[in-house]
């Protein structure tokens, strides 16, 4: 049942883009006394999260500045912020212009989010305040319509409502390795851990497992740091993120139902449109963006499963594209021979003390070959199956049956208003989420253009409409 009185305390677990933006909206909107606890376990990620806490100048946004505003109703908000700091942006070797079409440093975007939070805090009504906490929420208990949170430091908090803005978890460990290899000093299971770069730089070769955007981050980071060693990349299909190219979304009309009906139909319509009109495929993918969530829901479970089985990797590398400058640098690293692509599966890893022996099986072959490298970095993409996460909080919530994975195990089961659904199928009146955990329900929910709308809507919901 929905609580009737406005909340006096709201706890937000996770201070990435999602959690920070909900906090900022709450602080700006609340008219009656309210304390917002914003809790982040990693100090460097406060108001930045995984994506925007990088300190590397050449880790660029993969969405143009003109579409990175934190506020859906003010599309140029980020662009104006960046243009007011043009000299600082241009100081970065990877930035050539500060226009709507520019790809700016993620580090700068972190500063932008942090500033939004500061301003919301300063402008809050009397009695409305922010409690910034560096701590990890270890468990929570729902009792008498409120929530008791236990933090790793031993502190306890009570909140009327809680937002789990848990975002992106480190990738699951790749197959072919056992627990002993996972503990090896030559294996870096968390690609976002701060110490990885210092440990890679003295090596003469490394293997990046996975060929998505995290691999790209690592290739660019190593290149920028002057790494001279060989960078091997392995992925099952050998597909890489494509480059952006300027162009407006195409006038790609959907059927009147606004549905594709089946994955096969959808693919057929897209291909036919590209073939018949000669439109660049990027413009067609971009035209789908505003309706992707509707299309996804219209597919139903079995077609969604079919999509994941056959098209997911193709979708990811066409939809999540690279800034053209980054794509050009990767191309040069491949042409120079420093970067070497392998297509296939990893059969085994062995830490031989001075090096790692990796046995690979090329795609479509029974052959095996061995690669010797000094280090292995797991770039296989954020783990989304909550049953496999090693987060104490997530484990606790699963044991208490307060959350359940969505049927595709892409995230959590979530109601339309952002309420978490428990193991019995009941939407919670006090536990909410937004962003990446909603992937099963919405598919397109992990990037700023989607999360900003969710954050504004959730703040209204939390304050009671």
Task: State which of residues 10, 12, 58, 61 lies at the interface with ligand FAD (CB under 6 A).
Answer: 61
Q: Which of 7, 17, 186, 218 binds ligand FAD (CB under 6 A)?
A: 17
Residue (of 461, 457, 412, 419) closest to 438 by Cα position: 412
With CB under 6 A as the contact rule, the residue among 7, 25, 36, 40 that binds ligand FAD is 40
CA-to-CA separations, 202 to 186, 222, 226, 425, in angstroms, rounded: 12, 11, 11, 52
Q: Which of 167, 266, 405, 411 binds ligand FAD (CB under 6 A)?
A: 167
Return the half-sphere exposure (C-beta side, CA atoms, 13 A cut-off) of residue 219.
31
**Of residues 40 and 422, the one with the C-beta less far from ligand FAD:** 40
Residue span 391-420 as binding mask against ligand FAD, x where in contact by CB under 6 A, dash where not:
x-x---------------------------
Site string for ligand FAD, 207-236 (x = CB under 6 A): ----------x-------------------
Residues 171-210: x where in contact with ligand FAD by CB under 6 A, - otherwise, as a string: ----------------------------------------
Q: How far is the CB of 199 from ligand FAD (least distance, A)?
A: 19
Question: In this chain, which residue has its C-beta nearest to ligand FAD?
Answer: 167
Q: How far is the CB of 449 from ligand FAD (least distance, A)?
A: 6
Q: At what angle do helices 263-277 and 292-310 cross, to 10 degrees?
A: 100
Task: Say if residues 41 and 195 touch (Cβ distance below 8 Å).
Answer: no
Give the Cα separation of 146 and 8 in Å (integer). Answer: 11
Residues in the chain: 465
Number of residues that bind ligand FAD (CB under 6 A): 33
Contact with ligand FAD (CB under 6 A) among 63, 95, 403, 456: 63
In 172-222, DSSP assigns E strands to 187-188, 205-209
Token representation of residue 207:
């293997």
- Give the range of 13-21, 245-253, 305-313, 366-374 binding ligand FAD by CB under 6 A: 13-21
Nearest residue (CB) to ligand FAD, 358 versus 382: 382
**DSSP helix/strand/coil, 432:** strand
Region from 17-25, 289-297, 326-334, 397-405 binding ligand FAD, contact rule CB under 6 A: 17-25
User: Which listed residue (25, 45, 107, 161) binds ligand FAD by CB under 6 A?
Assistant: 45
DSSP 291-324: GHHHHHHHHHHHHHHHHHHHTHHHHHHHHSPBPH
**Is residue 16 part of the contact set for ligand FAD (CB under 6 A)?**
yes
CB 323 to ligand FAD: min, Å: 9
| Token pair recorded at residue 119 | 């301003």
Cα 147 to Cα 213: distance, rounded to the nearest angstrom? 37
- Exactly one of 35, 69, 168, 454 binds ligand FAD (CB under 6 A); that residue is 168
Phi-psi region of 400 (alpha: psi -120 to 50; beta: other; left: phi over 0): alpha
Contact between residue 322 and residue 429 where contact means Cβ atoms under 8 Å apart? no
Site string for ligand FAD, 422-441 (x = CB under 6 A): -------------xx-----
Residues 204, 139: Cα–Cα separation, whole Å: 43
Q: Which of 50, 317, 330, 410 binds ligand FAD (CB under 6 A)?
A: 50
Question: For residues 302-361, which are near ligand FAD according to CB under 6 A?
Answer: none
Only one residue has tokens 């212009």, namely: 97
Task: List Cβ neighbours of 421 (8 Å cut-off, separation of 6 or more).
Answer: 403, 404, 412, 413, 414, 415, 427, 428
Q: Which is nearer to ligand FAD, 165 or 376 (CB)?
A: 165
Contact residues for ligand FAD, defined by CB under 6 A: 13-14, 16-19, 39-42, 45, 49-51, 61-63, 106, 136-137, 165-168, 217, 391, 393, 435-436, 446-448, 451
């Amino acid at each position: 049942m929905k609580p009737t009185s406005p909340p006096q305390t709201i706890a937000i677990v996770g201070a990435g883009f999602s959690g920070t933006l909900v906090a900022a909206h709450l602080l700006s909107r609340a008219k009656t006394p309210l304390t917002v606890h914003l809790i982040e376990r990693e100090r460097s990620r406060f108001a930045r999260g995984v994506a925007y806490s990088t300190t590397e100048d050449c880790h660029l946004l993969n969405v143009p500045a003109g579409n990175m505003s934190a506020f859906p109703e003010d599309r140029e908000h980020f662009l104006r912020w960046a243009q007011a700091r043009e000299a600082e942006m241009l100081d970065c070797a990877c930035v050539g212009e500060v226009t709507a079409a520019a790809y700016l440093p993620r580090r700068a975007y972190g500063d932008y989010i942090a500033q939004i939070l500061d301003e919301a805090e300063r402008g809050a009504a009397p009695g409305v305040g922010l409690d910034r906490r560096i701590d990890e929420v270890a468990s929570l208990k729902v009792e008498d319509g409120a929530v008791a949170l236990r933090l790793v430091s031993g502190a306890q908090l009570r909140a009327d409502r809680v937002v789990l803005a848990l975002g992106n978890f480190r990738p699951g460990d790749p197959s072919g390795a056992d627990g002993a290899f996972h503990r090896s000093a030559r294996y870096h299971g968390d690609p976002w851990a701060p110490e990885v770069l210092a440990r890679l730089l003295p090596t003469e070769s490394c293997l990046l497992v996975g060929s998505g955007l995290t691999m790209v981050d690592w290739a660019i980071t190593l290149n920028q740091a002057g790494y001279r060693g060989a960078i091997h990349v392995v992925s099952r299909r050998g597909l890489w993120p494509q480059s952006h190219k300027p162009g407006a979304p195409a006038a790609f009309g959907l059927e009147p139902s606004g549905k594709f009906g089946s994955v096969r139909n959808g693919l057929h319509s897209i291909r036919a449109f590209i073939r018949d009109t000669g439109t660049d495929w990027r413009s067609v993918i971009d035209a789908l963006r505003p309706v992707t969530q509707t299309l996804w829901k219209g597919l139903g479970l079995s077609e969604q499963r079919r999509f994941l089985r056959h098209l997911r990797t193709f979708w990811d590398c066409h939809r999540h594209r690279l800034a053209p400058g980054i794509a050009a640098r990767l191309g040069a690293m491949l042409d120079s021979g420093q970067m070497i692509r392998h297509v296939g599966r990893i059969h085994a890893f062995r830490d031989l003390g001075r090096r790692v022996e990796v046995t690979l099986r090329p795609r479509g072959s029974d052959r095996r070959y061995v690669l010797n490298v000094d280090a292995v970095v797991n770039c296989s993409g954020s783990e989304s199956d909550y049953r496999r996460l090693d987060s104490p909080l997530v484990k606790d919530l699963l044991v208490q049956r307060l959350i359940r994975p969505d049927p595709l195990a892409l995230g959590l089961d979530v109601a339309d208003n952002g309420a978490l659904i428990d193991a019995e199928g009941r939407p919670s009146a006090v536990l909410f989420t937004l962003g990446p955990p909603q992937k099963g329900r919405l598919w397109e929910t992990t990037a700023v253009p989607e999360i900003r709308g969710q954050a504004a809507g959730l703040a209204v919901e939390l304050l009671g409409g």
